[in-house]
Amino acid sequence: GNSVTQMEGPVTLSEEAFLTINCTYTATGYPSLFWYVQYPGEGLQLLLKATKADDKGSNKGFEATYRKETTSFHLEKGSVQVSDSAVYFCALSTATGNQFYFGTGTSLTVIP
Partner 1 sequence: KAGVTQTPRYLIKTRGQQVTLSCSPISGHRSVSWYQQTPGQGLQFLFEYFSETQRNKGNFPGRFSGRQFSNSRSEMNVSTLELGDSALYLCASSQTTGANTEAFFGQGTRLTVV
- One of 12, 51, 59, 81 touching partner 1 (CB under 8 A): 51
> Is residue 106 a contact residue for partner 1 (CB under 8 A)?
no
CB of 89 to partner 1, least distance (A): 7
Task: Establish if 95 lies at the interface with partner 1 (CB under 8 A).
Answer: yes
How far apart CA 95 and CA 30 sit, in angstroms, is 8
The interface region with partner 1, picked from 15-23, 42-50, 64-72, 73-81 by CB under 8 A, is 42-50
105 touches partner 1 (CB under 8 A): yes
Nearer to partner 1, 34 or 80 (CB): 34
Alpha-carbon distance values, 23 to 49, 70, 72, 93, 106 (Å)? 13, 10, 6, 14, 10
∠76-7-105 over CA atoms, to 5°?
A: 90
Q: Which of 103, 106, 108, 110 binds partner 1 (CB under 8 A)?
A: 103
Q: How far, in Å, are 29, 78, 96, 106 from residue 88 at the CA level?
A: 25, 16, 24, 5
Residue 3 binds to partner 1 (criterion: CB under 8 A) = no
